[in-house]
Amino acid sequence: MTEPQNPPSLVTLDEIRAAAVRLRGITVRTPLLPFGPPIPGNLLGHPRAWLKPELLQPIGAFKLRGAYNTLAQLTAEERGRGVVTASSGNHAQGVARAARLLGIRAIVVMPDDAPRVKAERVAADGAEIVVVGPASDERSQRAHELADRHGMVLIPSYDDPRIIAGQATAGLEIAEDIGAGGRAAIAPAGLPFTVLVPVGGGGLASGVATAVKSIRPEARVFGVEPELAADARQSLLEGHIVRWDAALTGRTIADGVRTSALGRFTFPQLQAYLDGVLTVTETEICRAMVRARDLARLIVEPSGAVSLAAWLFHADELPADGPVVSLLSGGNVDADTYAALIDRGEAAGS
């Protein structure tokens, strides 16, 4: 697949700020948590690494930001028709919760290998679930069929300006909070800092990069994805969208970033704002989950741990100066799966 001949307009900072207004009282302004030992000589006791735990959102992941921002902008006629979406889990939860809050009927197409906890929470919010095979293309095709059959509004999981703007509010918070506090700020204006964010279809990474760099141009923002699902890295290196077969991306334990390709909207946004993409191994993801549990008392799902894995095991690939923020995108993982991955991480040396 090649990039579009006429790329769409990029999401703007004004659109992101408008999304933040819509999300007031709906999503949580997640904090920046210190991680690791203080920098020697730092009078405030600040460490170099910080965590933004999006797993503290009401649905346990960042996806409520984009889903609610999108559904809140539907017309009354569109709301009456209902919505349908395809998702492996966290976006499904976001749409289900947003639909319940706004009184909209929702159908969610989910893969048969989706974590049980995600499917249960989608059902708990009243959405109807349609189960298909593990391939993202199959989910997308069924969602389109349902939208056509029932006249429902199709809600993309990442490739939509409204989704991007909603997810970008996490980056808006980072840019505002990291410079707050005057002399006590983590990174006062003018001081470079780095943000690490997971990449699947690119909705979160493109939005966060846009928000952060629009407010703090001296910042560096890197996407992070598993080596086993590194289509985003290849796409950005080659300058066009590269699609990976579902059999390849399905190998990673990070189910939330198994998307086969970046989207028409997310790709140019990433090209414009992202500084690069790092990749991490499956074992590094497990080890990062252990560190999050032991050092921050946070239960992080594999997709959410990729950014921390990049900081822990690939710091030499990052700029040497300034604080580093790892955005932990979610914490929705089945208990048995979590225990097995923690065992794997501990066996590897945590």
Per-residue confidence (pLDDT) for residue 13, from 0 to 100: 98
Q: What pLDDT is attached to residue 130?
A: 94
Q: Could you check whether 13-60+161-347 and 64-154 share the same CATH topology?
A: yes
Ranges of each domain in the chain? 13-60+161-347, 64-154
Ordered DSSP codes for 88-124: SSHHHHHHHHHHHHHT--EEEEEETTS-HHHHHHHHH
DSSP symbol at 55: G
Q: Which of 215, 196, 203, 231 is nearest to 315 (CA)?
A: 196
> What was the pLDDT predicted at 83?
97
Question: d(Cα 147, Cα 101) in Å, to the nearest integer?
Answer: 21
- Provide the sign of the torsion angle of the four alpha carbons 231, 236, 238, 241, taken in this order: positive
- How much is the average pLDDT of 316-331? 97
Please report the pLDDT score of residue 8 as a whole number: 81
Number of CB atoms found within 10 A of residue 9's CB: 10
What CATH number does the domain located at 13-60+161-347 have? 3.40.50.1100
| Distance (Å, whole) CA 152 – CA 154 | 6
Report the C-alpha gap between 16 and 18 in whole angstroms: 5
In 16-175, DSSP assigns E strands to: 33-38, 47-53, 83-86, 106-111, 128-132, 153-154
Question: Is residue 329 flagged as an active site residue?
Answer: yes
Comparing 47-56, 118-127, 217-226, the range with the smallest average pLDDT is 118-127
Rounded to the nearest 10°, the torsion over CA 51, 312, 116, 33 is -10
Residues 11-24: what's their mean pLDDT?
98
pLDDT 10s digits, 186-202: 999 999 999 999 999 99
User: Can you tell me the distance from the alpha carbon of 332 to that of 340, in angstroms, rounded to the nearest whole number?
Assistant: 15
The catalytic residue among 63, 87, 260, 307 is 63
User: Rounded mean pLDDT of 84-108?
Assistant: 94
Nearest to 165 by CA among 67, 82, 298: 67
What's residue 269's pLDDT?
98
Catalytic residue among 9, 235, 329, 350: 329
Q: Which of 8, 3, 15 is closest to 167 using CA atoms?
A: 15
What is the predicted pLDDT for the residue at 246?
Answer: 86
Average pLDDT score over residue span 279-288: 98
CATH of domain 64-154: 3.40.50.1100
Owner of token pair 């995600």: 118
pTM equals 0.94
Q: Respond yes or no: is residue 118 known to be catalytic.
A: no
> What's the average model confidence in pLDDT over 220-228?
98
Find the helix packing angle between 90-102 and 116-124, rounded to 10°: 10
Q: What pLDDT is recorded for position 1?
A: 34
Mean pLDDT of the chain: 94
pLDDT band, very low/low/confident/very high, at 6 (cuts 50, 70, 90): low
Residue 128: name the closest of 168, 162, 100 by CA.
100
Q: Which pLDDT value is given to residue 215? A: 97
Mean pLDDT of 252-272: 95
